[in-house]
Amino acid sequence: MPQNHAKDTVLAFIDAMNKEDFKTARNFVTPGMDFIGVMGSRHGADAYFSDMEKMKFKYAIKKTFVDDNDVCLWYDIDMGKKTITSSGWYHLVDGKISEFKVLFDPRPLL
């Protein structure tokens, strides 16, 4: 997959999430997508979006890095009461996000 396509897919996913357009966001992920985060993991798009529809996080992207089918973002995630600087690593298969990991210091949330 061309690097720009992987980047465009991830950025379109983040844009849809910021707009709370979860139906559109689902178009950019595989049904079996895995999410791995500091505070927990989710297997499957249904489980992930069920949580995100309640949390309604907002993402302010600071930097994007692309390597083949992998896209890494540095962003600030507005989690409601706190905004946390984070890194997200998105892996794409057949043009869709199949797995992503988000890392941040969880101490401000505890």
**pLDDT in the model for residue 1:** 53
Rounded-to-integer distance, Cα 110 and Cα 96, Å: 33
CA distances from 29 to 47, 50, 81, 105, 109 (A): 13, 14, 27, 26, 27
Write down the CATH number for the domain with range 3-109: 3.10.450.50
Structure confidence at residue 110 as a pLDDT band (50, 70, 90): confident
| DSSP secondary structure code for residue 101 in this structure | E
**pLDDT in the model for residue 92:** 98
Q: Which candidate, 86, 92, 93, 89, places its Cα nearest to that of 109?
A: 86
Q: What is the mean pLDDT of the chain?
A: 95
Mean pLDDT on 82-104: 97
What is the chain's length? 110
**pLDDT in the model for residue 2:** 58
The residues with which 77 forms a beta bridge, in sequence order, are 59, 84
Map out the domains of the chain as residue ranges.
3-109
3 pLDDT above the threshold of 90: no
Residues 6+ apart with CB under 8 A from 7: 64, 66, 71
Amino acid at 8: D
Model pLDDT for residues 48-57, shown as the tens digit of each residue: 999 999 999 9
Model pLDDT for residues 12-51, shown as the tens digit of each residue: 999 999 999 999 999 999 999 999 999 899 999 999 999 9
